[in-house]
Structure 1
């Protein structure tokens, strides 16, 4: 597994625009698909997705392979990902 962190400067839009910007944390397998994903929003909202909960009214687990040769700058440690995954309570679970 590889772990990545992306900061999105663009809000979701629509009814969720007031949530503000977000930071995405992804756990990606060797097949380039996302296994776990947690999203932290500027207003404090948290969403998480995995195989047990892959979609809801707010969004979904990324369903496209993450393939890019320039991902190294976004890579984080497994420990950082696990900390964020375990220390935040998602509102959609």
Structure 2
């Protein structure tokens, strides 16, 4: 499996009871078909959420349910595997 890695800042609120966490930076490990395999969400106020094969969801959210359709559109947010792994393993 060939993965690609992305980091993207979201300037939108969650729209739920955890809005107080603020905005988040999302890190994705995406399979070659564009589906997220692992995901890290780092919120401005401190919470960090991690989702992957062994932990797909919890009361705070879950692994992305949509493909990162066109990798070309995501090219400006591509990062290295090492950068993703640092966030995943913190």
> So what's the TM-score if we normalise by structure 2?
0.91
Structure 1: state its 5+ residue gaps. 88-93
- The CA distance in 2 between the partners of 1:49 and 1:14, in whole Å, is 19
- Quick one: distance in 1 between partners of 2:79 and 2:23? 20
Q: CA RMSD in A?
A: 0.9
Greater share of residues in strand: 2
- 1:63 aligns with one of 59, 62, 65: 65
Distance 1:45 1:65 in 2: 24
Runs of 4+ displaced beyond 3 Å:
none
SS in 2 for 1:32: coil
2:87 aligned partner: 84
Residue matched to 2:20 = 18
1:39 alignment partner in structure 2 = 41
TM score, norm. by length of structure 1: 0.88
Indicate yes or no: 2:75 matched with 1:72. yes
Aligned length: 87
